[in-house]
C-alpha cells in the first residue's frame, strides 16, 4: 500500500462523491458560476465530502490509538464504551440545557466519553485473563450497560426518537452550518501525529515506557482524551459509525506493522477512503434514495471483521 496510490484514490473518490446526487451538477455549471449548481456544491456536497473525510480519518486514528494503548487489536471506540458513553452524554446535555447548542452537547458528551473510556481502561487493568477476544467483549458489555441507561431515560422522557437519530450514522443531513464542529478534530489529529511514537512506546507496556523515560500515564491520558473528543464530535455531527475504528487500523497494520509513526498516515488515508467508498455505495444502490452510512459500513465492516477474526485465530 503506497501512500501515493492512497492519496490518488482519495482524490478520485472525492471527485466522484461530489458529482453524485439527485440534483445533476456538471463541471460546466460550476465553472460558469451557475447559481444553482454552485449552491448545491457549496451548501451540501462539499460539506458532506469534508465531513466524511474528517470523520473517516478521525475514527480510524481513534481506533489505532485505542488499539495501541490497550494493547489489543479488537479494541476501538465502539468496543470500549466510548461511543455509548458519548451518547449518554448527549442525552444528559439535552436534559440539562434546554437550548442544547452543539457546543454544549459536545462538551457534555466529551466528558462522558472520557469517563466511560477511562472506566474501561481501569477494568482492563484489573482483568487477569488477558484474552484477545475477551477484552473487547467486556468493552461491548460495558457499552451495552451504559446504552441501556440511555435508553431507559430516553423512554421515560419520551426522547427515543432523537436518541435513535444519533444511533445511525448518516451523512445525508450534513449541510453547511451543521458539520463545522467536526473541524475541531483536525488539530486533534495533528496532536495524534505528533504523539505517534509515544503511543507506540506506551503500547509496549508501562515498564518498557518507564525505561525510556516516558511518562506512561500522561501518554495514555492524552490518547484517551483525543479518542473521546473525536468520538463525541463524530457522534454529534454524523452519528454512530460502527466498525470503522476497528477494521481500518487492523487492515493497515497487517501491511505496515505496528509502528505508529509509520502507519498513522496510511490509517488516516485508508479510513477516509473506506468511509467515502461506503458513502458513495449507499448513495447509488437505491438511487435516488439513500442507505444510511452506518448500514453500508456495518455490512462491509462486519464481513471484514469476521475475516480478521478467522485469520487471527489461525
Partner 1 sequence: MIEIRNVVKQYGDKRVLNDVSTIIDKGKITSFIGPNGAGKSTLLSIVSRLIPKNSGEVIIDGKTLENWPNNQLAKKLSILKQSNHLSIKLKIRELVSFGRFPYSNGYLTKEDEIYIDQALDYMQLKDIQDMYLDQLSGGQRQRAFIAMVLAQNTDYILLDEPLNNLDIKHSVEIMKMLRNLVDDLGKTIAIVIHDINFASCYSDHIVALKDGKIVDEGDIDRIIRKDLLGEIYDMEFSIADVNNMKLCVYY
CA 281 – CA 259 distance, rounded (Å): 32
Contact status: 213 vs partner 1 (CB under 8 A):
yes
Taking CB atoms within 8 Å and a gap of at least 24, the contacts of 279-283 are 279/17, 279/48, 279/52, 279/171, 280/13, 280/16, 280/17, 280/20, 283/20, 283/21
Question: Which of 122, 158, 207, 288 forms a contact with partner 1 (CB under 8 A)?
Answer: 207
Closest to partner 1 by CB, 25 vs 189, is 189
Contact status: 198 vs partner 1 (CB under 8 A):
yes
Contact status: 197 vs partner 1 (CB under 8 A):
yes
Contact status: 1 vs partner 1 (CB under 8 A):
no
Q: Count other Cβ atoms within 10 Å, centred on residue 241.
A: 30
Q: Applying CB under 8 A, what is the total number of residues that bind partner 1?
A: 24
Contact status: 131 vs partner 1 (CB under 8 A):
no
Among the residue ranges 13-21, 23-31, 94-102, 197-205, the one whose residues contact partner 1 (CB under 8 A): 197-205
CA 267 – CA 260 distance, rounded (Å): 9
Question: Which of 144, 259, 284, 303 forms a contact with partner 1 (CB under 8 A)?
Answer: 259
Burial of residue 30 (number of CB atoms within 10 Å: 0-12, 13-18, 19+): middle
Q: Tell the smallest beta-carbon distance from residue 260 to partner 1 (Å).
A: 10
Q: Any alpha helices (H) in the chain, and if so which ranges?
A: 3-18, 27-31, 35-40, 46-70, 82-96, 102-126, 134-156, 160-167, 185-194, 196-202, 206-211, 216-237, 244-256, 260-284, 293-313
Closest to partner 1 by CB, 60 vs 232, is 60
Contact status: 35 vs partner 1 (CB under 8 A):
no
DSSP structure class, residue 42: I
Among the residue ranges 145-153, 161-169, 181-189, 205-213, the one whose residues contact partner 1 (CB under 8 A): 205-213
Among the residue ranges 45-53, 90-98, 208-216, 223-231, the one whose residues contact partner 1 (CB under 8 A): 208-216
Question: Which of 211, 217, 285, 311 forms a contact with partner 1 (CB under 8 A)?
Answer: 211
**Residues from 63 through 82 that contact partner 1 (CB under 8 A):** 71
DSSP structure class, residue 287: T
Contact status: 253 vs partner 1 (CB under 8 A):
yes
CA 159 – CA 141 distance, rounded (Å): 23
Closest to partner 1 by CB, 29 vs 258, is 258
Q: Tell the smallest beta-carbon distance from residue 229 to partner 1 (Å).
A: 23
Name the site residues for partner 1 (rule: CB under 8 A).
Answer: 71, 196-198, 200-201, 203-208, 210-215, 253, 257-259, 261-262
Amino acid at each position: 500500500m503506497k501512500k501515493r496510490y492512497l492519496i490518488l484514490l482519495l482524490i478520485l473518490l472525492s471527485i466522484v462523491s461530489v458529482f453524485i446526487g439527485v440534483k445533476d451538477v456538471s463541471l460546466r455549471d460550476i465553472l460558469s458560476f451557475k447559481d444553482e449548481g454552485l449552491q448545491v456544491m457549496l451548501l451540501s456536497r462539499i460539506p458532506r465530502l469534508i465531513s466524511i473525510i474528517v470523520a473517516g480519518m478521525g475514527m480510524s486514528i481513534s481506533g489505532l490509538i485505542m488499539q495501541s494503548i490497550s494493547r489489543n487489536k479488537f479494541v476501538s471506540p465502539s468496543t470500549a464504551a466510548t461511543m455509548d458513553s458519548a451518547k449518554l452524554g448527549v442525552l444528559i446535555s439535552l436534559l440539562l440545557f434546554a437550548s442544547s447548542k452543539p457546543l454544549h452537547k459536545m462538551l457534555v458528551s466529551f466528558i462522558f466519553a472520557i469517563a466511560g473510556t477511562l472506566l474501561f481502561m481501569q477494568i482492563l487493568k484489573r482483568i487477569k485473563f488477558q484474552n484477545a477476544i475477551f477484552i473487547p467483549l467486556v468493552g461491548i458489555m460495558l457499552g451495552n450497560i451504559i446504552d441501556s441507561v440511555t435508553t431507559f431515560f430516553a423512554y421515560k422522557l419520551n426522547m427515543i426518537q432523537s436518541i435513535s437519530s444519533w444511533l445511525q450514522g448518516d451523512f445525508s443531513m450534513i449541510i453547511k452550518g451543521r458539520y463545522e464542529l467536526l473541524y475541531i478534530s483536525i488539530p486533534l489529529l495533528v496532536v495524534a501525529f505528533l504523539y505517534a511514537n509515544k503511543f507506540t512506546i506506551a503500547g509496549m507496556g508501562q515498564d518498557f515506557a518507564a525505561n525510556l523515560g516516558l511518562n506512561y500515564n500522561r501518554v495514555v491520558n492524552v490518547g484517551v482524551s483525543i479518542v473521546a473528543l473525536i468520538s463525541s464530535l463524530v457522534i454529534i455531527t454524523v452519528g454512530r459509525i460502527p466498525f470503522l475504528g476497528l477494521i481500518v487500523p487492523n487492515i493497515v497494520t497487517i501491511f505496515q506493522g505496528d509502528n505508529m509513526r509509520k502507519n498513522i498516515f496510511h490509517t488516516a488515508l485508508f479510513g477516509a477512503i473506506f468511509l467515502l467508498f461506503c458513502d458513495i455505495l449507499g448513495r447509488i444502490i437505491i438511487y435516488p434514495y439513500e442507505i444510511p452510512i452506518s448500514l453500508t459500513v456495518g455490512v462491509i465492516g462486519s464481513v471484514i471483521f469476521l475475516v480478521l477474526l478467522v485469520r487471527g485465530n489461525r
